[in-house]
Each structure stands twice: as C-alpha cells, then as structure tokens.
Chain A
C-alpha cells in the first residue's frame, strides 16, 4: 500500500513539475511575442518623435485643456516640491487640482502657507456622489492652482471630487508624490491628437530612488544601490517597456498606472468615475472604459506612450513592498472578478478573447503555479523523487529565459531613451536583473499569493505606504 502511495506521489510530483515547466515555457513564449511587438512599436515611435517640434502644441490655442488631479493624504513632506514641479510643467492650458483627502498631518497648512491659498466659493456639478468638501482654496499667486480639502474617503473618492471640479477636456490622474517630466504632458497628450477614439493614455513610470532630484525634477538618473529599489527598477522597465508597449501594438492595453494617467473627462464622468470599494481603482476604471466602449460605442482605445514621463518612489522595506504587492494583486483579482463576463466573450473583441485570458491565467494565477512548482521541486528533492539535474534544468528554464528577456528589455531602454548612462549604472542594472531571481522573485510570489488569499477572504484595506520624500521641507527651508 505504502509503495503504491509513494508511486502515485512520485507520478504527481513529476507530472506536476512537467506541467509547471510547460506553463513557464508558454508564459515566456508569450513574453517573447510581447518583446518582439514592443521592439516594433518602439522603432515606429522613435521614428515618429525624432526632431518632433512640440513647441507648436505648446503655443497652440487648439491644444486640449488639461486638469491635473493630485490626491494627497498625509503628504506634508513631499507636497511642496511635487506641486512646484507641477506648476512648472510645460503645457499651455493647465489647471492643477490638489485634493487633500482628509489629511491628518499639515498637508493643507503647508499648502496654504507656501502657495498663498485663500478660501473661495465656486460652482460645480456633482455628477458622482462623494464625501463632503470642507473648503475650496485658490492660490492668489498661481491662478491655475485649486486645492480641495475634503473628508477622508480614499483615493478614488478624492479623484471623483477632483473630476467634479475639473474644467479640462482631459484629466490627468496622479499620485501627489509623482514627479512628472517637464514635457511629460506634451508627450502624453499626443495620442489624443492623433486619433479620436483614444479615451486614456499612460506613460512609462520610472523609479526615482537613487536618482538626484532638484526642485521636483530628476536631474541625474542613477540606479539605486539599495537591493529592493534596484530590483524594482528592473521590474518597472520590464513592465512598461515590453509589457505595456508590447500590448499597445496588439491593441490590448488595460492598465494605466495610478501614478500618472491621462483620461477624457467626459468619458470618465459618463462611466461613473472611480469605484470606491476596490483597491485596484485605476485598473478597474480603465477596464470599465474599455468595456463600455464595446457595449455603448464611443472612444475606447487605451494608448501607451513609451517616453519616460514620470518618476515615482518605490518602497525600500520588505514590509511596505509586501503590502504594496499584496494590494496590487488583490486589486487585479478584484477587477478581473468584477468584469468576469468579459472572459473569452467575443463581444469584447481582443480584450475579451486575448487580454482578459492573459491577465487571468498568466498575471493572476502565475504565483499559484510558480508556488506549486517551487514547493513540489523542494519536496521532490527532499524525498529524492526529483533528481538534481532535473531541478537545475527546471530552475534555469523557468528563470533563465525570464532573465534573458529582462536583459533584452534593458537593451530596448538603452537603444531608445538610454537614461542610465554610466558604466556603473549599466553594471548595477544587470546585476539586479540577475539577482532578482534569487529570492526577490520568490518573495513577490509569496506577497501575491497573500494578496490572492486576502481577496478570497474579502479584505479591502490599503495598508500604509511610507515615503522618504525627495526633498524634505526642513532641508528646503534651510537651503532657501
């Protein structure tokens, strides 16, 4: 009997390993397709933007008006630098709306002091139900600046309040601590000028950790020496440059980073704005816009601009990073569940038949498969069911191809925008690309599994995101 059980266990483990191996090959094969697609897309994009004169857009009275919505919650250490950078953005018709989402620190006081804010009344239409607005401020020194102080209701609620006050044809949703490149909006608005069916655009978000920041601008790009931040640089490059850019060509973008995205205001309002009861509100909105375009008609293209348009600070502690990844995965699961009707539904075209299955079976379930693979490998080795040669082959196949793909993403960055210029940065980038498979990736599997588990248990908390800040106020005050 024992021998029979051992035989079955043996077969299950071996076949399971092969299944996992085949899954990894299929996933990496798809990634390879995305890489080729992103190479072609990048080639076309670089030809199009070479010597492009964006000053025409800058001085044109026909340029679409943009309202920037910057929700802030307890951002007193970074809000001034971020806002000064926003006010210096190169765009002709710009309105900036900072929404303090019931901040408990001195965020609003800092804004009042530094930007000469005065309370005002205004007329706005509340098309989406939100928490109460306490006070509306306008700056007496910067006419384009509006600050809304409201009761706490979460990021989605803050963005919905911003949508009600916005006057622009386009709205730019961002995190208050995101650093936007001076010409970032000019780059992001391009797809809206090129086609009428564009409903939203996203751009490449880079990691700011380790880089030199002055007056809210990244003046020198450096790869961080901190291992966690360094490996996230590689991750971000991979996600944006071959993930989203690759999907751009295949017509299947459904993610726009919550850190920085540009939307057609009327479409977002018509769709009902951001959802409150999800932790993946940015992806949910994009997928809803896409879905509604199939159901009701109207603009539905989600365009991705590969230009590096914004910078964000990534967590440097395992605890915070774990919480972030857990939340991202819960968000993904929640959004896919809410829109499950789209899965393999021909009514939703490429999104239903290709993109949705990809996000379900590859993005959502990959940590499950990866965990099964790793655990059964360990069990197999302990009980000598799997031999070491197979284990090494498994590991190298599973992760080696991924590393090679990452390496090609780094080449793609180098051939296009080459922001990391020094030998030190290149060496560090490669180093982080190699070592991310030795522990870091396995930790992300654990965090994502935790997120999945929490989703199944119905947890919807955000967790606390701690930030170091680029230019602390104390340092700025001392320097000024």
Chain B
C-alpha cells in the first residue's frame, strides 16, 4: 500500500513539475528562437559578418540552433543558402553535425545526417552513411543524396535498390526520381545487368523518367521469370510508348499472369495504340476481372476504333465481355479518361 502511495505521489510530482518545466522552457525557447531568427536574418541578408550575432548564435542551445537554421534553410536557395551554410560553419553547427554522423549511437547519426541533409551540405561523412547498419540512417542519407547527384553517389544509390529495408529502398527510389534525367543513363545500365527485386524497384523509377534509353532493359525484363518484374516492365513500356514497346505489349496481352496482361492493356490504352484494338477486344473475354476492365478502358481511350469493338462486344456470346463492354460504354467521358 505504501509503495502504491509513494508511486502515486512520485507520479504527481513528476507530472506537475514536468508541466511547469515545459511552460518555462517553452517561454524561454520562444524568446531565444525569436532573437536567433533576427540575428540569422541579419547575417544572411547583409552578407557581412557581425561578430555579436555570430556569438549569440554560437551560444544558443543546440536544439534551438538546429531548429532556427533548418527553418530558414527551407526557404533559401543559391547564394542565400550558401551564406546560411557559411554562418552554420561559423557557429559550429556543421562541425557538430559531422561529429554526430560518426557517433556510435544510430539516433545521433540520424540527427547529424538530418542537419546536414536539410542544410544541403555536400560532405563525404553523410555519403558513408548510405552504408549505415541502421535503415533509418540509410534512408536519411538517401534523402540527402537527392540533392547531390554525382556519378559515384548515383552508383551507390543504384546498388541500394536491393536494400532489404523497405524504408531505405523507398527513400532511394524517391531520391533517384528527384535527381531527374541525370539518373537515366546509369539506371539503364543498371537495369541491363540486374534482375529480380532490385530490377523491379529500378523499373518503377524508370517508369517515372520514361525515356527510350530504358527500352532495351524494359524489353529484356518483359521476359523475366518473375511476374512482378514483367508487370513493371510492361508499365515502363507503356510509359515509353514507342512502336517497339507497343509491339511487345501486344505480345504481353497473352502473358500467363493477369497483372502483366492488365499492365499491357493499360500501356496500350495509354499510348492510344489503335492498331491493337482487336487484341484488346480479346482481353474483354479474359478470365480475370481487372484484365477485362483495363482492356475495356484501353479500348475506350483509343477512340472510334476502340468504341467500335466495344459495341461489337455487346453482342458477344461471352456475357462477361458483353457486360464489361456495356459498363465501359456507359461511363461518362471524364471517368473513362481517368
């Protein structure tokens, strides 16, 4: 009983004293942040070094310092951001972040990587974190890499498409997309030499970039043993949308996997390949509902030739094909396009 009372009293004391501390701390932090923002604005806008402002920022609590710099960093680019980095170096923020990146504890490395990432600091210490044992740190380093699109970094990022941690893989795919066209050539080369899940991840990135440089790889992967890879390749071919891609997509309409057939139908619809209308009309008789739907929608998006096949399908002896054709023809214009 006494233990319970002691625990209760302790809990009350902690709860209320923490509340009081929070209240006082918030007031203090607010005041500090306001002053720091003003100092930082003066330093960044004027471009001249004011010793007093530097001293003030240097004396700030680390968390407040990080908050203010990151907050300002989001709104700056070019020369402004360069000046901000200069001030961050002067107040030792970057040095501290670098040290954190080498810390034994992953939470500290994550914090260091976050600061250097937000400040867009090109530093080899963060590059090393792309191989960190902790997936959260690797993901953060990948986020940093999006703003540092050098060939060695792209090469490292491509190898990370095989990362076992979903979190890191997502960050890598996203970073590669953000790097833009510069990734196309190395990614195409990567897709030529890799297969399986890493290729599937790469094909997804390639689909968003969709240049003809990916065509050879897409054609190769469209014959993969893995259905997921073939479906991703079909999506990529649909996004590339040239004649050889269309030719292969028509063949993929006969793929044993329903998701690949559906992806092929979507791709042909996307490129409005009217020459494939008769093959797509065959898709209306498919055993899988989603293939019938995607084939129907593809016919609808092709225009007049597709509509003709859909109307013909209304008389089909296959009631599933007739039903799907009716559903697609009943769709309003906007829904069919969507």
Contacts and interface: CB of A to CB of B under 8 A. Distances in A.
A62 interface: yes
Contact of A53 (B11, B107, B143): B143
Contacts of A400: 1, 4-5, 8
B306 to A, nearest CB: 15
A125 interface: yes
Interface stretch (B119-127, B165-173, B242-250): B165-173
B98 interface: no
Contact of A62 (B16, B170, B330): B170
A414 B136 contact: no
B70 interface: yes
A123 B324 contact: yes
B257 interface: no
Interface string B125-155: 0000000000110000001000000000000
- The prevalent SS among residues of A at the interface is helix
B266 interface: no
B110 A47 contact: yes
A426 B110 contact: no
Which of B15, B16, B332 has the most A CB atoms < 10 Å from its CB? B15
A430 interface: yes
A62 B19 contact: no
A127 to B, nearest CB: 8
A393 interface: yes
Interface stretch (A147-155, A239-247, A403-411): A403-411
Interface in A372-397: 393, 396-397
B111 interface: yes
Given A125-B289, A125-B290, A407 B12 contact: yes
B296 interface: yes
B1 A53 contact: no
Contacts of A393: 1
Interface string B200-215: 0000100010000000
Contact of B18 (A60, A123, A194, A415): A415
Contact of A51 (B12, B66, B165, B177): B66
B148 to A, nearest CB: 15
B327 interface: yes
A195 B331 contact: no
Contacts of B11: 404, 407-408, 410-411
A194 B166 contact: yes
A61 interface: yes
A121 B327 contact: yes
Contacts of B143: 53, 56
A403 B8 contact: yes
Interface in B169-188: 170-171, 173-174, 177
Given A61-B208, A418-B22, A396 B174 contact: no
Which of B11, B173, B293 has the most A CB atoms < 10 Å from its CB? B11
Which of B14, B170, B328 has the most A CB atoms < 10 Å from its CB? B170
A477 to B, nearest CB: 30
Nearest to A46: B107
Given A396-B1, A411-B11, A62 B204 contact: yes
Given A62-B204, A121-B327, A404-B4, A411 B173 contact: no
Contacts of A60: 174, 177
Interface string A170-203: 0000000000000000000000011110000000
Nearest to A140: B334
A50 B293 CA distance: 44
B290 A426 contact: no
The 4 closest A-B pairs by CB, nearest first: A407-B11, A400-B4, A404-B7, A194-B167
Interface of A: 47-48, 50-53, 56, 60-62, 120-123, 125, 138, 193-196, 393, 396-397, 400-401, 403-404, 407-408, 410-411, 414-415, 418, 421, 423, 426, 430
26 contacts: A48-B110, A50-B111, A53-B114, A53-B143, A56-B143, A56-B171, A61-B177, A61-B208, A121-B330, A121-B335, A123-B327, A123-B328, A125-B289, A194-B135, A194-B165, A195-B167, A196-B166, A396-B4, A397-B4, A400-B1, A400-B5, A401-B4, A404-B4, A407-B8, A414-B18, A421-B22
